[in-house]
Amino acid sequence: MERIVLASTNKGKLREFGDAFNALGIEVASIGQYISGWDVEENGATFYANAQIKAEAAMEMTGLPSLADDSGLSVYYMGGAPGVYSQRYAGENSTDQLNNELLLDRLAYAKNYRQAHFTAVLAYAAPGAVTHFALGRLYGSITTAPRGDAGFGYDPLFEIRGSTKTLAEITLEEKNRISHRALALRSLFKACGAFRG
């Protein structure tokens, strides 16, 4: 079976990407299987740059085709912040809860201007080939208080456009159908000749 490396040790991502690629007859292995203590500095200014840094580092270290993703939340009232800083919005060792509290704080006066989107960029790097990219976006708005227990990150504050629910109020299966990562993956499959059967 053809194998690609996922430039992440996140189990949720491994399962999500694994399921999608398995359906195409491609196995997805975590970078953790090849490199112990995998850690690459994500110092890019954009989601594209960070995804490229991770995918190309994994490809160079393993010699195998590698996939990486980078994602985050952009809030229009805040000029697109926290963007690439989503994970460490409230500081280097921040938590989801602290990030969410800070976001609500910053939007305290943004009564009717709470639109936002999640972005996911995928980078696929194969030896001797140009790196392919794909983008997915999920649109919505930021609630005034957290709702729901599912998901992670900003999910309890993100009300999906066209729905009354936040991402933390839907099942993982539903989220995996509509998420920015799912959209990016579909786009990568469409655009990238390497996956055409």
Compute the least distance from the CB of residue 58 to ligand IMP, in Å.
15
State yes or no: is 105 an active-site residue. Answer: no
Coil, helix or strand at residue 181: helix
Q: Which of 69, 70, 96, 155 is catalytic?
A: 70
Is 25 or 117 the residue whose CB approaches ligand IMP more closely?
A: 117
Q: By the criterion CB under 6 A, which residues form the site for ligand IMP?
A: 69-73, 86-87, 118, 151-155, 167, 179
Is 155 or 159 the residue whose CB approaches ligand IMP more closely?
A: 155
* 7 closest CA partner among 50, 68, 72: 68
Compute the least distance from the CB of residue 128 to ligand IMP, in Å.
27
* 123 closest CA partner among 48, 195, 31: 48
Which amino acid appears at position 127 of this protein? P
- Residue of closest CB approach to ligand IMP: 153
Which tokens in the block code for residue 172? 């993982």
Strand-pair category, 2-6 with 66-75: parallel
Q: Any idea which residues carry the catalytic annotation? A: 70
